Copies of this chain bind each other. A is one copy, B any other.
Amino acid sequence: MSYCDSCVVRNRAICAALDDDEIQALNGIGRRKMLQAGDPLIWEGDDSMLVANVIDGILKLTNSTEDGREQIVGVVYPADFIGRPFGAKSNHSVTALTDAKVCLFARSDFDRFAAEHPSLEHKLLKRTLDELDRTRSWMLLLARKSAEEKVATFLLDMSKRLVDATCEAPQDGPLDEFELPFSRQQIGDILGVTIETVSRQMTRMKRDGILDLPTRRTVKIVDRAALEMIAG
Contacts and interface: CB of A to CB of B under 8 A. Distances in A.
A63 B192 contact: no
A73 B122 contact: no
A230 to B, nearest CB: 12
A142 interface: yes
A141 B142 CA distance: 10
Interface in A13-58: none
A213 interface: no
Contact of A124 (B67, B69, B125, B144): B125
Interface in A54-70: 61, 63-67, 69-70
Interface string A59-93: 00101111101110110000000001111000110
A118 interface: yes
A140 B67 CA distance: 13
Interface in A136-154: 136-140, 142-145
Contacts of A70: 144
Given A73-B136, A118-B121, A133-B91, A65 B144 contact: yes
B125 A121 contact: yes
A232 interface: yes
Contacts of A192: 142-144
Contacts of A140: 63-65, 69, 71, 73
Contacts of A122: 115, 118, 121
Given A67-B232, A84-B133, A128-B129, 9 more contacts: A63-B137, A65-B145, A65-B232, A73-B139, A86-B129, A91-B136, A92-B136, A118-B122, A121-B121
